[in-house]
Structures are given as C-alpha cells and as structure tokens.
C-alpha cells in the first residue's frame, strides 16, 4: 500500500512540477492585474442564481445591502490578512505547501475531494447554461424543490451541453482562458443592463426616486417564496464571507497571490467582491423580481436583454465550467497513472454532465457553496497554524517533509474531527464554518504541543 | 497600434450597450429595438475584443 501511495504521489508531483519552485522576484505581477483577475473570476454564472435566491429567501433590502457590504469586506480582509501574507511569505501553491506540512498522502486526498467538489460545481454551471439553451425549445425548467429531473428534455439539454463543454475543455484550455478574459466585462455589463431594463417593469422608470420604495416592496420585500427558508442579515453576511471560503481562508488562492509583490495585494480582491458579489447579485435580484420570482436564469436574462442575455447566461456557464473541468481533470489525473489529459478530462466531463442533470445542485446552490467551503476549510486552518502559530510556540514545522511521512495523521485527524464538529453544531449551515475553523486551529496546535521545543531534524 | 484601435472600438461597443439600456430605462428606446441594438453591439464587442487580444503567429 505504501509503495502504491508513493508511486501515486510521485506521479501527482510530476503533474504539478511546473509550479514546484517558489516564484522568483522577476515574475512578480503588478497589483492591477490581481484586480482584473478577481473582477473576471467573480462575475460568473453562479451570480445569476445567487442574487436571485436572495430574493426568494425573503431578505429585506436593508439586510441585503448591509450584509453584502460587510460580508464582502470580511472576505476581502480574509484574502488580505490570511491568504496573501502566507502566499508572499512562501511563494508556493497550496499544493506544495500542504505537501510539506501534511505529506503527499493527505495532499492526494485533498486533491480528490477538490476534484469531486469541482465536478459538482461545474455541473451546476452546466445546469445554469441549460436554462438559457432550453428557451429555444420551450423547455420547462425543474421546480425549485426538485431533486431529480422530471423532464427528459432537461436531461437531454444538460447532457448535450455537458458533452460540448467537455469537448471544448479537451480541445484547448488556454484559448478558452483568453476567451473568458474577453467575455467577462461583457457578462458584467449584461448584469447591469439587465437590471436597468427590468426596473421599469417593477415601476421605476426615468429616475431612481422610487427605487428604494420598489426595492423594499417588490424586490427584497422580506417575504420568502413558498418552501424557501427565510433569511436575514446574518445569513447574507456569512454567505458573502464564505462564498469563496476555499479560496481565501482555505488558501487555494495562494496559487494567485504567490505572484504578488506585497501581501497588501490581497485587497485587490475587492474588485471581484464588489463587482460580482455585490453589484451582480443585486442586479440578478432585480431581474428575478421582474419575471415574477421564478428561478430561471436563462429566462430572466432573456426577458431583460433578449438573445444577448440568453447568450450571456450560456457563456457565463461555459467560461466558468471549463476551468473547473480542467482543474477537476488535473486533480483526478493523480489516480489514473498513464492516462493522457484528454482521457481524464473526458471522464470528469462525463461525470459532471450526469451531475448537471440533477436539479438538486443548481436549486440548492447556496447550500452547496456552503458545503464546498466547509469541507476544505480545516486544511486552511492547519496551514495557518503551521505557518504563524508554530514558530511562536517553538513547535517544529513541516514534520511530514522532515520525517518523510506519506501521511501526517494529525492533519488528517484534525480535518475529519473538524468536519464532525461542524456537522454536530446545532446552528444553521452558514454559521458552522467559523467555529469549525477555530476548532481546527486549536486542535491542530494542541496535538502538536508535545513536540514543542524539539529541533527540526 | 491597431490593437489599441480594436480596444477602443470594443470599449465603444460596450458603452453602446449601456447607453441603450439607459435610454430604455428613461423610456426613450422601445424594448424590441433596444434588444436588437444590444445584440449587434455585443457581437461587435466580441469581434473587436477578440482582435485586440489575438496574437500574431510567431515567424519561424
């Protein structure tokens, strides 16, 4: 077993070989580039769904505005004070830093968990795109409470789109990466234009003097849709904060910030948060209110902006699903020795296409986003403790690397126990990650206290 | 130089989308013509923006 794991680990290392070395100073990037990366990444297909769900969950306008302002601020601060400082200090990706701390075995498990979660996320993106494509065939979108598909046309559209996206992911990731750079400003504009054009349908025309009155009575009026849980200020604040938990507190974005000149570049994440997770969410809320609160991203964009709107929903789904499929393929390649990239991307794409047929992930996107961050969060806590707290307490760092361990059982234990702790917490799903993070941090430090003062070998 | 021109044209196409949305909001542009203008401007944006980021093939 140990031999097999070593073999898998070495294959995994070869896959990530290209970013094994710390980033050298000549490769550091200008701050504004980080702003544009964040602005592009965080105006995606999910924004059409999340902003609309806030309306369906009966949030009031003031709770929404205040919750988003503060929640996004906390997210920006998490990037600036947690993720960016570790990134510029190590200049490594999370993959390589975690490997030093937890060993290749734990890193492999982390990769597989990430791949599985990526596939579900890409599936949700395909579902969002399907709502736009289905307009051409008069397709009925699944009901908000549906778990399984009830409509063969929905299944067919999801599968065809999934296969198409997979094919494009196989054919060329780099070219599509450039295309998404081109598409993202336009997609953001579709949000703004869609909301602007939807406002007259809600009774705001010509000037914004009635906007607040309409916003509080016809859009975010505090009345949840049938079967939807009522949300308030704290739900919005925590959702905006943990929406990218895996990236900031979970440290996935070390891959980006290792190119930053200074840790303060973390503040550039505000470009993504306040354009995508503030303005775009508000705009999609306006659009869903204008179509009678129906969860149908394709229809709401089509009604507002016409064919271009439907195209925007489809493109947003495609440009987001594509890199997600690529990353899932990269992560899965570790367990399929000898398989070429196209074959594993095909397998990931097929699995994703099947998952996209299940309305569950699309209609429960908010809960899924919460679960996604929650599952990966303890690893962020472990790395934070190892990087900042261990030197203060004189606990030796990087024991997996020093002792050439495949598994750092303490890391694995903290990961599993933190998830059990979060599962048992008697609070709403959205509020579980923060106590879970503190629990993971404390537990990992406590487990390592006995080795305090020991010299690194 | 030509890339700069394409960038400017792409930006103008985007601004045209926004301008007509605002005109519709003001009640000065009907919804169907607005949607057509938005579509045409969007296509123009993608053409110009793609040209502005495309690379010439490296001489062998």
For chain A, positions 287-326, list CB contacts with chain B under 8 A: 305-308, 311
If you average pLDDT over residues B29-57, what whole number do you get?
89
For chain A, positions 174-193, list CB contacts with chain B under 8 A: 178-179, 181-183, 185-186, 189, 192-193
Q: Are B18 and B37 in contact (CB under 8 A)?
A: no
pLDDT at A3 exceeding the cut of 50: no
Query: How many residues does this entry show for chain B?
Result: 60
- Report how far residue A75's alpha carbon sits from residue A175's, in angstroms, rounded to the nearest whole number: 30
For residue A1, give both structure tokens: 């077993």
Q: What is the pTM of this model?
A: 0.90
Contact between A189 and B14 using a beta-carbon 8 Å cutoff: yes
Q: Which residue has the tokens 């495609």?
A: A318
pLDDT for the residue numbered A7 = 66
For residue A263, give both structure tokens: 């840790």
User: What are A327's strand-pairing partners?
Assistant: none
Q: What 3 state SS string does A340-391 have?
A: CHHHHHHHHHHHHHHHHCCHHHHHCHHHHHHHHHHHHHHHHHHHHHHHHHHH
pLDDT at B39 exceeding the cut of 90: yes
Q: Cβ contacts of residue A135 below 8 Å, gap of 6+?
A: A298, A299, A302, A310
pLDDT at A338 exceeding the cut of 80: no
- Report how far residue A5's alpha carbon sits from residue A105's, in angstroms, rounded to the nearest whole number: 7
Q: Which residue in chain B is spatially nearest to A175 when comparing CA positions?
A: B54
Q: Cβ contacts of residue A61 below 8 Å, gap of 6+?
A: A212, A215, A216, A219, A220, A221
- Report how far residue A17's alpha carbon sits from residue A294's, in angstroms, rounded to the nearest whole number: 47
Of B26, B46, B50, the CB nearest to A206: B26
Query: Which residues in chain A are closer than 8 Å to B24, comparing Cβ atoms?
Result: 196-197, 200
- Report how far residue A362's alpha carbon sits from residue A351's, in angstroms, rounded to the nearest whole number: 16
SS3 content of chain B, % helix, strand, coil (to 5): 80, 0, 20
Of A182, A196, A311, the CB nearest to B21: A196
pLDDT for the residue numbered A130 = 93
A162-204 pLDDT, tens digit per residue, is 999 888 888 766 666 677 778 889 999 999 999 999 999 999 9
- ipTM score: 0.93
| Percent of residues, chain B, with pLDDT higher than 90 | 73
If you average pLDDT over residues A203-211, what whole number do you get?
89
Mean pLDDT of chain A: 89
Q: Are A418 and A249 in contact (CB under 8 A)?
A: no
User: Smallest Cα–Cα separation from A99: which of A327, A392, A399?
Assistant: A399
Q: By a Cβ cutoff of 8 Å, what residues of chain B touch chain A? A: 14, 17-18, 21-22, 24-27, 31, 34-36, 38-39, 42, 45-46, 49-50, 53
Of A186, A189, A205, the CB nearest to B27: A205
Q: Are B52 and B12 in contact (CB under 8 A)?
A: no
Contact between B21 and A193 using a beta-carbon 8 Å cutoff: yes
Query: Which residues in chain B are closer than 8 Å to A187, comparing Cβ atoms?
Result: none
A271-330 pLDDT, tens digit per residue, is 999 999 999 999 999 999 999 999 999 999 999 999 999 999 999 888 888 877 877 777
If you average pLDDT over residues A137-159, what whole number do you get?
88
Q: Which residue in chain A is spatially nearest to B51 when comparing CA positions?
A: A182
- Report how far residue A314's alpha carbon sits from residue A132's, in angstroms, rounded to the nearest whole number: 6
Q: Are A428 and A235 in contact (CB under 8 A)?
A: yes
Mean pLDDT of chain B: 88
Q: What superfamily in CATH does domain A2-17+31-367 come from?
A: Hydantoin permease (1.10.4160.10)
pLDDT for the residue numbered B60 = 44
If you average pLDDT over residues B12-39, what whole number do you get?
94
Q: Which residue in chain A is spatially nearest to B47 when comparing CA positions?
A: A182
Query: Which residues in chain B are closer than 8 Å to A306, comparing Cβ atoms?
Result: 34-36, 38-39
* A260 three-state secondary structure: strand
Taking the CA of residue A197 and the nearest CA in chain B, the distance in Å comes to 6
- Report how far residue A399's alpha carbon sits from residue A99's, in angstroms, rounded to the nearest whole number: 10
User: What CA dihedral angle connects A196, A202, A206 and A209, to 10 degrees?
Assistant: -100
Q: Cβ contacts of residue A442 below 8 Å, gap of 6+?
A: none
For residue B3, give both structure tokens: 């890339």
Q: Which residue in chain A is spatially nearest to B12 when comparing CA positions?
A: A186
A388-407 pLDDT, tens digit per residue, is 999 999 999 998 999 888 89
Most B CBs within 10 A among A186, A191, A283, hence the mutation to make, goes to: A186
A294 sits in the region (left: phi over 0; alpha: psi -120 to 50; else beta) called beta
- Report how far residue A439's alpha carbon sits from residue A136's, in angstroms, rounded to the nearest whole number: 50
- Report how far residue A289's alpha carbon sits from residue A52's, in angstroms, rounded to the nearest whole number: 8
User: What CA dihedral angle connects A282, A285, A289 and A294, to 10 degrees?
Assistant: 170
pLDDT for the residue numbered A366 = 93
- Report how far residue A242's alpha carbon sits from residue A373's, in angstroms, rounded to the nearest whole number: 7
If you average pLDDT over residues A65-88, what whole number do you get?
97
Q: Which residue has the tokens 């009575």?
A: A217
Taking the CA of residue A294 and the nearest CA in chain B, the distance in Å comes to 21
A197 touches chain B (CB under 8 A): yes
pLDDT for the residue numbered A205 = 84
Taking the CA of residue B8 and the nearest CA in chain A, the distance in Å comes to 14
Residue A25's pLDDT band (cuts 50, 70, 90): confident
Query: Which residues in chain A are closer than 8 Å to B18, comparing Cβ atoms?
Result: 189, 192-193
Between A84 and A341, the higher pLDDT residue: A84
Query: Which residues in chain A are closer than 8 Å to B22, comparing Cβ atoms?
Result: 196
Instruction: Identify the H or E element spanning A299.
Output: helix A297-305
Taking the CA of residue A316 and the nearest CA in chain B, the distance in Å comes to 14
Q: Are A147 and A358 in contact (CB under 8 A)?
A: yes
């Amino acid at each position: 077993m140990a031999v097999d794991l070593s073999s898998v680990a070495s294959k995994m290392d070869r896959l990530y070989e290209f970013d094994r070395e710390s980033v050298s100073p000549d490769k550091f990037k200008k701050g504004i580039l980080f702003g544009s990366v964040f602005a592009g990444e965080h105006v995606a297909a999910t924004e059409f769904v999340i902003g609309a769900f806030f309306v369906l969950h009966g949030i009031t306008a003031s709770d929404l505005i205040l919750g988003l302002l503060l929640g996004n601020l906390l997210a920006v601060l998490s990037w600036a004070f947690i993720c960016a400082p570790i990134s510029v200090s190590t200049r490594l990706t999370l993959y390589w830093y975690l490997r030093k701390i937890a060993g290749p075995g734990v890193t492999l498990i982390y990769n597989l968990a990430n791949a599985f979660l990526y596939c579900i996320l890409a599936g949700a993106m395909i579902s969002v795109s399907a709502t736009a494509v289905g307009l051409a065939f008069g397709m009925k979108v699944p009901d908000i409470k549906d778990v399984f598909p009830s409509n063969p046309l929905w299944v067919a559209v999801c599968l065809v789109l999934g296969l198409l996206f997979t094919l494009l992911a196989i054919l060329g990731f780099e070219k599509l990466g450039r295309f998404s750079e081109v598409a993202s400003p336009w997609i953001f504009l579709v949000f703004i234009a869609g909301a602007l054009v939807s406002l007259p349908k809600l009774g705001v025309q010509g000037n914004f003097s009635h906007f607040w009155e309409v916003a509080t009575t016809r859009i975010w009026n505090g009345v949840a849709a049938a079967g939807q849980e009522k949300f308030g200020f704290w739900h919005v604040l925590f959702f905006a904060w943990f929406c990218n938990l895996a990236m900031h507190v979970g440290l996935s974005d070390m891959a980006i910030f290792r190119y930053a000149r200074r840790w303060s570049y973390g503040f550039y994440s505000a470009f993504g948060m306040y354009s995508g997770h503030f303005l775009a969410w508000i705009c999609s809320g306006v659009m869903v209110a204008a179509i009678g609160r129906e969860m149908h991203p394709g229809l709401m964009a089509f009604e507002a902006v016409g064919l271009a709107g439907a195209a925007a929903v489809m493109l947003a789904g495609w440009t987001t699903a594509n890199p997600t499929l690529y990353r899932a393929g990269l992560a899965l390649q570790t367990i399929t020795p000898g398989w070429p990239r196209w074959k594993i991307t095909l397998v990931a794409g097929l699995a994703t296409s099947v998952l996209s047929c299940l309305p569950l992930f699309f209609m429960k996107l908010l809960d899924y986003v919460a679960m996604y961050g929650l599952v990966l969060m303890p690893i962020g806590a472990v790395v934070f403790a190892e990087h900042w707290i261990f030197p203060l307490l004189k606990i030796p760092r990087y024991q997996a690397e020093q002792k050439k361990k495949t598994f750092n059982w303490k890391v694995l234990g903290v990961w599993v126990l933190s998830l059990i702790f979060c599962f048992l917490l008697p609070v709403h799903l959205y509020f579980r990650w923060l106590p879970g993070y503190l629990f993971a941090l404390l537990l990992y430090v406590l487990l390592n206290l006995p080795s305090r003062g020991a010299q690194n070998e | 130089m030509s890339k700069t021109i394409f960038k400017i044209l792409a930006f103008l196409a985007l601004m045209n989308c926004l301008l007509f949305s605002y005109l519709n909001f003001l009640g000065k542009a009907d919804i169907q013509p607005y949607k057509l203008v938005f579509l045409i401007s969007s296509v123009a944006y993608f053409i110009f923006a793609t040209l502005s980021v495309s690379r010439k093939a490296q001489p062998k």
